Chain A
Amino acid sequence: MDFRLLLRNPIGRIGIIVVLFFVVASLGAPVIAPGDPSEFVGDPNQPPSSEHIFGTDPQGKDVFRQTVWGGRISLAIGFGTAILAITVAILIGMTAGFFGGLVDNLLTLLMNLFLVIPGLPLLILLAAYLAPSTSTVIGTLALTGWAFHARIFRSMVLSLREKDFVAASIVSGEGNFTILFQQILPNMINIIVGSFIGSLIYGIGAATALSFLGLTEMTDVTWGTNLFWAQNGGALFSGAWWAFVPSGICVALTAFGLSLINYGMDEITNPRLRAERELAKVVKNAALRRVRATPFVPRAH
């Protein structure tokens, strides 16, 4: 997986730009939106103005500050969840797939257990009983999100361990963990990165949902708590759309950008997709009808 390849791919490039925009905005929050985002700056529900460019929310807080600062914890939760969930998924999934037998049976049972437990109720339950904090949210989300990916990694390893290069490593006397992490893991990089981005989206979305339900630390400023306070103060009833639209758009755009990166990666790892796009262009230029056969695109030679 070459990062430059992703930059050269138009879809992937847009995705990276969008995601980088939000990451940079969050990191640069003290410069972009100086001041405490929880500070009460003026009258509630003021529409966007030169003083408060995104207006103020029902509590009289500056929405622009809240939106920019909110990205910090939201993105942190997303990345934290993804790293934790995927690490657990790699360890458990690959172990299950590679060693097989009783180990596989027990670990698969564990995965199935977590797969059949409905995610959102468990999330709410855990979030309600544990002390609300950022790390609690990350832990809960990772706990409900790892099993799906572990399942995928397990089946990947199941098929990869039958390949000749694995047999060759066994014959040449390499240890199990060398084989697992040096021979098999590199072959799964694209699916691992795909899963990582998938659980990043899940982490950001689910954290927002939890906050919106009021199940996280409410003094933190995140995109989710912004939505909670806007809803709490009846922003919709008083027509203060500016209180909730910015945070909502941020969550949606981040997820959108991440999905684009995933699509871009898909095109890189599966060159046929890219070729088909090029072909569509050629066929369109030649004003041809598509048939289920090799296309005939006459050209002067």
Chain B
Amino acid sequence: MTTSQPVLNLCDLYVEYLTARGPVQAVNGVSFSIAPGEVFGLAGESGCGKSTIAHTILRVLRPPAIITGGQIVVKGRDVLQMDDETLEAFRWRDVSMVFQSAMNSLNPVMNVGNQLADVFIRHKRMSKREALERASELLIGVDIDQRRLSSFPHQLSGGMRQRVVIAMAMALEPALMIMDEPTTALDVVVQKDIMQQIRELKRKMSFAILFITHDLSLMTEFSDRIGIMYAGEIVEQAQAREIFNNPLHPYTQGLLGSFPALAGPKKRLTGIAGSPPDLVAPPAGCRFHPRCWVCQPIEQVVKPQLREVLPGHWLAAHPGMPLPPGAA
């Protein structure tokens, strides 16, 4: 996109959850980078490690989660080398996050204004009056009347609460905002409003977004580039349109085949047979091979690396997998 330094550069990240049965390899050698102002989407079924990656970038996961390898570079600084104080300043100021359900990320016994003001008081050492003033500006920015400052979360609708959370995430004008299924709990009309709002804000403030959802149509609509995850690994990565129109990995094809299309002829939904693997003892080679229908013998033994098969289109598969003409 741009030649400037990426906002986020994730390099060969490994995250494990310790359990009595042995470590769960939740994220297994994931790499991707996000350019300034770009929207990068992570898609995949539940339990594939999307949210784990999101939380790991801010290092907010509590043990039993541990990072066992890799680098997370945000604006040239490695998050994994930061100490407590640096991390505290880094969180929210450089990277902020909109959590899965807005209902649970707002404190029910504090009014909205105080919660928004807290961000400024804590990070910018503003006075209470100044902070509240900034808070009301933020609310106006997400189309909520500033009289709502004194409302408590339960007095707001689901959509409004989600807007408040987004406003809070924008407060310090971070370079990267992580959105972990920001609209999952909302109905489609409100969802559309919110997504348009985010797009609008992004145009004004030009932050990059790491967008996580399992709603593939929303994701193609909204993202510039998409990475498809399966069992803790990225199996395919390309421009959003390209993923949608020309999915190469059998898992991506299966995923897209599980959603009905709005336009075009009626097609029977295909879905993917089987279920995701046990990540304590994942299958050898390509982790998707037990469910794969174009599986070659080599996939069962050797783990395929991501390689560029078309310009800008990366695929984790061994050469020899049937690909459309033009792909290498």
Contacts and interface: CB of A to CB of B under 8 A. Distances in A.
A294 B64 contact: no
A294 B68 CA distance: 10
A272 B65 CA distance: 11
Among all A-B residue pairs, the 7 with the closest Cβ atoms:
A275-B64, A293-B59, A279-B63, A294-B61, A294-B59, A299-B68, A296-B80
B29 interface: yes
A116 interface: no
Nearest to B18: A278
Interface in A112-136: none
Interface in A257-301: 271-272, 274-276, 278-279, 282, 291-301
B29 A296 contact: no
Interface residues of B, number: 25
Contacts of A299: 14, 68-69
A35 B14 CA distance: 67
Given A278-B18, A279-B18, A301-B29, A295 B87 contact: no
Contacts of B278: none
Contacts of B65: 294
Interface string A161-200: 0000000000000000000000000000000000000000
Nearest to B56: A294
Given A279-B18, A301-B68, A294 B62 contact: yes
A282 B65 CA distance: 11
Given A275-B64, A294-B63, 15 more contacts: A276-B63, A291-B84, A292-B84, A293-B59, A293-B84, A293-B87, A294-B15, A294-B55, A294-B66, A296-B80, A297-B66, A297-B67, A297-B68, A299-B68, A299-B69
Given A294-B56, A294-B59, A296-B80, A276 B68 contact: no
Contacts of A276: 63-64
B84 A295 contact: no
A282 B84 contact: no
27 contacts: A272-B64, A275-B19, A275-B64, A276-B63, A276-B64, A278-B18, A279-B18, A279-B63, A282-B66, A291-B83, A291-B87, A293-B60, A294-B15, A294-B60, A294-B62, A294-B63, A294-B65, A295-B67, A296-B66, A296-B80, A297-B66, A297-B67, A298-B69, A299-B14, A300-B69, A301-B12, A301-B68
Interface of A: 271-272, 274-276, 278-279, 282, 291-301
Contacts of A298: 68-69
A272 to B, nearest CB: 7
A279 B67 CA distance: 12
B66 A295 contact: yes
Interface of B: 12, 14-15, 18-20, 29, 55-56, 59-69, 80, 82-84, 87
Contacts, number: 60
Nearest to B28: A301
B84 to A, nearest CB: 5
B232 to A, nearest CB: 12
A279 B19 CA distance: 9
Contacts of B59: 293-294
Contact of A296 (B12, B62, B67): B67
A297 B56 CA distance: 13
Nearest to A276: B63
Main secondary structure of the interface of B (DSSP, over half): mixed
A297 B80 CA distance: 10
Contacts of B15: 294
Nearest to A298: B69
The residue in A279, A293, A301 that gathers the most chain B C-beta atoms within 10 A of its C-beta is A293
B66 A301 contact: no
A272 B84 CA distance: 22
Contacts of B18: 275, 278-279, 282
Given A291-B84, A296-B80, A299-B69, A274 B60 contact: no
Contacts of B84: 291-293
A187 B68 CA distance: 37
A300 B70 CA distance: 10
A274 B61 CA distance: 17
B246 to A, nearest CB: 31
Given A275-B19, A279-B18, A301-B14, A294 B69 contact: no
Contacts of A301: 12, 14, 29, 68-69
Contacts of B66: 279, 282, 294-297
Nearest to A291: B84
A76 B18 CA distance: 42
Contacts of A294: 15, 55-56, 59-63, 65-67
Contacts of B62: 294
A274 B21 CA distance: 12
Q: Which of B18, B56, B84 has the most CB of A within 10 A?
A: B18
A142 to B, nearest CB: 38
Nearest to A300: B69
A296 B56 CA distance: 10
A301 B84 CA distance: 27
Nearest to A281: B18
Contacts of B61: 294
A271 B12 CA distance: 29
A187 to B, nearest CB: 22
A8 to B, nearest CB: 9
A271 B61 CA distance: 16
B92 to A, nearest CB: 14
A282 B29 CA distance: 20
Nearest to B63: A279
Among A275, A296, A301, which residue has the most Cβ atoms of chain B within 10 A? A296
